[in-house]
Structure 1
């Protein structure tokens, strides 16, 4: 069987194919970029005032390349649409035999029935009518038609290719092969290799493998906060192209260093990465360095949360984990260790804060808010009236939390025994919440339940597991952090004697008014009195932490009173019942087996 290829001379079939493939690629990509960027922009737009509002520059050229490709793609879509609309399609004439109309068509197109000028046309039409009649009446012709589509037998098969003939002609084939070679031999392998290289360089939390190796090797349980900061600044991320040191920046960095040391000499140089400053509040005039400063803060925050802190909590190191949480607060608020929490307020700087502490003995924000209004004004007399009002306004916004109730219990039991499963239930309240708390639970609240009421506690835990908090976390007031930051809290439960975390810290991301958290752990194997620490610590605010000691009595099983016998309310079956007859039958069988055993023993 032969084959004959016919090419799409008009190009319309190829245009349809190319338009479909291009539309399936360009349209979803455009919608994703437009909808995604719009949604993220609205969500991440900060509502609190910012001292640093410069956006972090994206050094990558991929957005520009993506934009150019989208423009080219849409241009091709419009061009192909125009071609499809304006190109005329030559409709193929299909021969279709129709036996019932044979006689009518013969009467109409027989050459003897038409005029002289139509005899040639009538002859052609009559030949087609006869051919159709033969196909429908001759079995061999019908078989050929069913097999090969032609009553005369196998013919050359014609197949259409949706490509212009120009693309397969001899003089254009080298250019087509070159294009295919560039696409599949260079462009595609380049981007696939680039994607694979970048994916193998990073952990799942977007941290470089060398950085995680450095953290695993050098972090210790008993490590100082200063050494943790030094370990953080040694991350490989700070030597990447966007943040690496350049000799042209040396003069500016030296001036910044001298200024920081002049303002605060305590560990001033430790707030630098190997080449860049990342926690100082001092403004940087150089726009590029200021953008790098913001990018370093965001990168450092990710390294703390998803790198160092995960390693520390994985080892259950309580002291190391709490120090890393404090570093997170420093990064968000632009402070350094030993800085006063009062410096989170606008207008309070390294210059006037020592004076406030020396003259008025005011160090923290809660300490300031506990003073009467006139005393607050006296304490902040270094500020003008407008600055004072602004500082008090944002001091009231900073959340003040308390542990309203903390309970250790074994569900269904009144005492805690060795190796039993203990449930910690803690209710955390924001005392200065902007909105009123709405109870999510029906029935008694955990604050109203007595420690001995095990049934009520079990019922509360069951109801709590079915009701999820729908509160939205408020935005953090952090003027020196470039970007929106939502308030989050860590709830840590640790053994005071061993300095180990009992369970990994619980991340509470929606604490707006109040929240009840629960976690289970195994009691110690030995009876006695154990002291635990329940710590609620913010990841953004400095000086808002709450610590409460909890004592747990583990009772010895041997000293517990015996359990009361359970009364059996099952009555004996009546004599004439089926159950009584079955019991009697089993008794006889058992007696027979005992007699046999006794006789065998006597023998």
Structure 2
């Protein structure tokens, strides 16, 4: 037997090879393109507003650029091309399958069943030989028949007959699949013949060199370098290292803005001459005296000194642009205004990285300062400026007029919207202030902002009455979204503030909990008209130790909620929303007082700060109390009850009244340390809105 290797001249194997390779790439990419988007901006509701900020066209343009990047255009094109290639290969497979030679089968040639007996085979062959014998038939030109073709048919019939009746020939057929014994065979390589045609060899070698020596290392290197050069917060590692060097324990918001200007990402938008062009004009606008007080960009004297001490270049211009964005400074220059808009999302991403660094150190002040910086960047409000600037048409002049020129503190949105309607309108609408229409638009937006108001906060262990050392504790926060200025807010239902665990055998309650976990409600996208991105607000809950100034429990982040926040008409539902954060209890029994921070990263002044007390009971004491609670006299219809009746002359002994035991973990504490009995370790929520 001989063998030879041949290339796929007829294209029998090549389409299978190409279709397989294309499928390995196309099918996963198709899933990636078609899978539902996890971006909240796709399905989240929006705050309804007719307000259009200055240079809205530049802001909208940046949003469109970002959306084009998120559309995965390159992957979509690759998927389409991949399926076109697969379809073409399937077509070639179907076409070439018609020309592929079939396996030699004597039964098929004779046209008889595989189960035919030798007698039936002989009888059938005799009839076929009479019909197809060359002496009996004549060629039919209409069927393109010739004497040679008729002879070949008769020879095949005879060979098939002998393969089934002659012992030697039959053995060859059984062992080797052919009446003539061993046959040479060829192995078809799934490459077309043109590849190895004389003269094409050098091109094939060049193609392999490019694929294996250039393209493959480039793709692998790009992937590896990309994973290594980016941090988990999607910023360059080099930028994260620079932010790490800028960190200090007493850093404040203005210094964080300065630190954010060190990011390498600004090089992409401030290349070459852009780093120096119009820098003097930009700084003169940012450092000019404001119309009310301070500098136009909202810098403090220390921030101005930090800007002026920087060497000229990308970082100095990036910092000046950041302050012009925060101060909403008009630059009267389209390229500068465009760059002012572009630096905002870069700074926001860098601030997320700085927050991660602050959390790693665990000091409370830098953590809170980084969250406040995120709020400032989202709302384009300088550190320390009035929270009223978050509302449409509010300027520094209007905010100062509302708050009073001599006022040393700012009004929060909640305080401003809590003013009597007539008085609020009187101090806001007028000459040099807002028009009636602008005021109504501003009030409409304010009444849609998702302000989470904490109603109750307490600690518990799921399924247990007591909190014991090192147990898994849940901080349960109950609150409602009450937008500033909401009218006719219903009283909270006391039962909604309880957190009752479902019984192990209560399948309906368990199913309801599972359904609530799956059907989470999204809050409205952040109303941030100056920020060139759609952003879904996040609420961070964490505990700190006020005595040491350190974080005690890391932040738990919430982006969805278990009940609708607004109804179909856009009105608030005032549903009680539950936030839960789990952590391990201290290893020692006692009372632990923490400060709970609930921070919204998208709005200034929507944060909550309050004291909460965790009471950890001794494990042995909790066991004893549980044992006492479980003691009860037997029921009359039980065997033990009947025995007791016999011993006591036919009557059950009087039941012992259970002693009311105060649960050491069921102490309610307000911010002044008052205590009361309850199911769990609770905290009064007369909170200070910050």
Report the Cα distance in structure 2 between the residues aligned to 1:490 and 1:64, rounded to whole angstroms. Answer: 34
The match for 2:117 is none
Bigger mean CA offset, 176-185 vs 281-290: 281-290
Question: Where does the alignment leave 5 or more consecutive residues of structure 2 unmatched?
Answer: 54-58, 111-120, 141-145, 308-313, 566-574, 635-639, 644-690
Q: CA 1:173/1:147 → structure 2, altered by over 3 Å: closer, same or farther?
A: farther
Tell whether the 8 Å contact from 2:401 to 2:427 is kept in structure 1 after alignment: no
Tell whether the 8 Å contact from 1:502 to 1:521 is kept in structure 2 after alignment: no
Tell whether the 8 Å contact from 1:417 to 1:527 is kept in structure 2 after alignment: no
What does the per-residue CA deviation read over 1:507-558, in whole Å, with 9 as the maximum and x for residues that have no partner? 2223534322344553584756x64322322111112222223456778999
The match for 2:60 is 53
Q: CA 1:6/1:509 → structure 2, altered by over 3 Å: closer, same or farther?
A: closer
What does the per-residue CA deviation read over 1:309-334, in whole Å, with 9 as the maximum and x for residues that have no partner? 23333443222211111011001001
Residue of 386, 408, 411 corresponding to 1:340: 386
Tell whether the 8 Å contact from 2:47 to 2:449 is kept in structure 1 after alignment: no
Task: Please list, as runs of the form range in 1=range in 2, the aligned pairs for 1:171-570 lying within 5 A after superposition.
Answer: 171-239=199-267, 242-262=268-288, 263=290, 264-265=294-295, 266-267=299-300, 269=304, 273-276=315-318, 277-278=321-322, 279-280=325-326, 281-282=328-329, 290=337, 292-305=339-352, 307-358=353-404, 363-381=411-429, 382-408=433-459, 423-432=474-483, 445=495, 447=497, 468=517, 470-510=520-560, 512=565, 513-518=575-580, 519-523=582-586, 525=588, 531-550=593-612
Q: CA 1:114/1:3 → structure 2, altered by over 3 Å: closer, same or farther?
A: same
**1:90 shift after superposition:** 3.6
Partner SS state of residue 427, structure 1: strand
Report the Cα distance in structure 2 between the residues aligned to 1:505 and 1:105, rounded to whole angstroms. Answer: 89
What does the per-residue CA deviation read over 1:571-594, in whole Å, with 9 as the maximum and x for residues that have no partner? 79x9xxxxxxxxxxxxxxxxxxxx
Report the Cα distance in structure 1 between the residues aligned to 2:208 and 2:98, rounded to whole angstroms. Answer: 29
Q: CA 1:50/1:310 → structure 2, altered by over 3 Å: closer, same or farther?
A: farther
Question: Where does the alignment leave 5 or more consecutive residues of structure 1 unmatched?
Answer: 450-455, 575-603
Bigger mean CA offset, 167-176 vs 323-332: 167-176
The match for 2:3 is 3
Tell whether the 8 Å contact from 2:41 to 2:534 is kept in structure 1 after alignment: no
**1:286 shift after superposition:** 5.5
Partner SS state of residue 597, structure 2: strand
Report the Cα distance in structure 1 between the residues aligned to 2:6 and 2:336, rounded to whole angstroms. Answer: 64
What does the per-residue CA deviation read over 1:50-84, in whole Å, with 9 as the maximum and x for residues that have no partner? 53212265799x97876876787677678778877
The match for 2:680 is none
What does the per-residue CA deviation read over 1:166-213, in whole Å, with 9 as the maximum and x for residues that have no partner? 221122222122222222221122111111111111233323223333
The match for 1:590 is none
The match for 1:596 is none
Question: Aligned residues, how many?
Answer: 559
Report the Cα distance in structure 1 between the residues aligned to 2:139 and 2:529, rounded to whole angstroms. Answer: 99
Tell whether the 8 Å contact from 1:55 to 1:482 is kept in structure 2 after alignment: yes
Q: CA 1:153/1:304 → structure 2, altered by over 3 Å: closer, same or farther?
A: same
What does the per-residue CA deviation read over 1:396-435, in whole Å, with 9 as the maximum and x for residues that have no partner? 2223332212335677998888878765432122223989
Residue of 73, 83, 106 corresponding to 2:129: 106
Partner SS state of residue 207, structure 2: helix
Report the Cα distance in structure 1 between the residues aligned to 2:463 and 2:101, rounded to whole angstroms. Answer: 84
Partner SS state of residue 275, structure 1: helix
Tell whether the 8 Å contact from 1:497 to 1:531 is kept in structure 2 after alignment: no
Tell whether the 8 Å contact from 2:541 to 2:598 is kept in structure 1 after alignment: yes
Residue 140 (str. 1) matches residue 168 (str. 2): yes
Tell whether the 8 Å contact from 1:408 to 1:423 is kept in structure 2 after alignment: yes
Q: CA 1:376/1:308 → structure 2, altered by over 3 Å: closer, same or farther?
A: same
Report the Cα distance in structure 2 between the residues aligned to 1:286 and 1:26, rounded to whole angstroms. Answer: 46
Bigger mean CA offset, 492-501 vs 332-341: 492-501
Report the Cα distance in structure 1 between the residues aligned to 2:236 and 2:103, rounded to whole angstroms. Answer: 66
Q: Pairwise CA RMSD of aligned residues?
A: 4.7
Tell whether the 8 Å contact from 2:345 to 2:533 is kept in structure 1 after alignment: no
Tell whether the 8 Å contact from 2:44 to 2:525 is kept in structure 1 after alignment: no
Report the Cα distance in structure 1 between the residues aligned to 2:396 and 2:522, rounded to whole angstroms. Answer: 34
Report the Cα distance in structure 1 between the residues aligned to 2:472 and 2:35, rounded to whole angstroms. Answer: 48
TM-score normalised by L of structure 2: 0.67
What does the per-residue CA deviation read over 1:276-316, in whole Å, with 9 as the maximum and x for residues that have no partner? 223422356666555544443223323333x2223333443
Report the Cα distance in structure 2 between the residues aligned to 1:410 and 1:17, rounded to whole angstroms. Answer: 59
TM-score normalised by L of structure 1: 0.76
Q: CA 1:302/1:552 → structure 2, altered by over 3 Å: closer, same or farther?
A: same
Tell whether the 8 Å contact from 2:387 to 2:412 is kept in structure 1 after alignment: yes
Partner SS state of residue 388, structure 2: helix
The match for 1:588 is none
**1:352 shift after superposition:** 3.7
**1:363 shift after superposition:** 2.9
The match for 1:579 is none
